Amino acid sequence: MRYNKNGDGMKFVVVSDNHGRPHVLEEIRRQHPDADAFFHCGDSELPSDQLDGFVAVQGNNDYTVDFPISRIIEIQGWRIFLTHGHPYLYFGRLDLLVSKAAAEKCQLVLFGHTHCFMNEEIEGIRFVNPGSISHNRDGSRPCYALITIEGKNISVEKIER
């Protein structure tokens, strides 16, 4: 992970749920050479060497990799909680994930698992699910998220593939 240390802002690429398709990750890396960090929210189903350049966590289908279930990353005053989400999501509710992020004093939560894009602020915390880069369950095109942070301002863009 590299990031802009001079405070001019940061650009993050966030992906999830490619389920064994490495070519998609390679293509996304090529499309964003100026990204400060690449995050993978789990269910890559790939060995760690094929996730080179991504800060990754383990999804519920990642049986052969030894990634952590969640991570907290601190970058330029931002605390980011990265998880696949399956231990926190039940019956489509975010309650446990909201509580965990608040307890960890995170301002941004990146998670996957649902295969549906989400960009929402809950209790002052920004929650971003990049959807799936292989198949979204809501019938929308496969996608990922592009996050730009400048100071305390955050913008999230859904990028369809």
Domains and CATH numbers, the chain: 10-160 (3.60.21.10)
Q: What is the pLDDT of residue 7?
A: 57
Identify the band that residue 60 occupies on the pLDDT scale cut at 50, 70 and 90.
Answer: very high
pLDDT for 2-14, tens place per residue?
544 555 799 999 9
Task: Give residue 47's pLDDT band: very low, low, confident or very high (50, 70, 90).
Answer: very high
Do 136 and 142 contact (CB within 8 A), yes or no?
yes
What are the tens digits of pLDDT across the range 81-132?
999 998 887 776 789 999 999 999 999 999 999 999 999 999 999 999 999 9
**Higher confidence at residue 87 or residue 146?**
146
The answer to whether the beta carbons of residues 10 and 149 sit under 8 Å apart is: yes
Per-residue confidence band for 65, with pLDDT thresholds at 50, 70 and 90: confident
Which residues are CB-contacts of 42 (< 8 A; sequence separation ≥ 6)?
Answer: 16, 17, 56, 57, 58, 59, 60, 62, 67, 83, 84, 85, 86, 112, 113
Evaluate whether 19 touches 45 at the Cβ level (below 8 Å): yes
Query: What pTM, to 2 d.p., does this model score?
Result: 0.93
Determine the Cα angle at 8 with ends 6 and 9, to 5°. Answer: 115
At 52, is the pLDDT very low, low, confident or very high (cuts 50, 70, 90)? Answer: confident
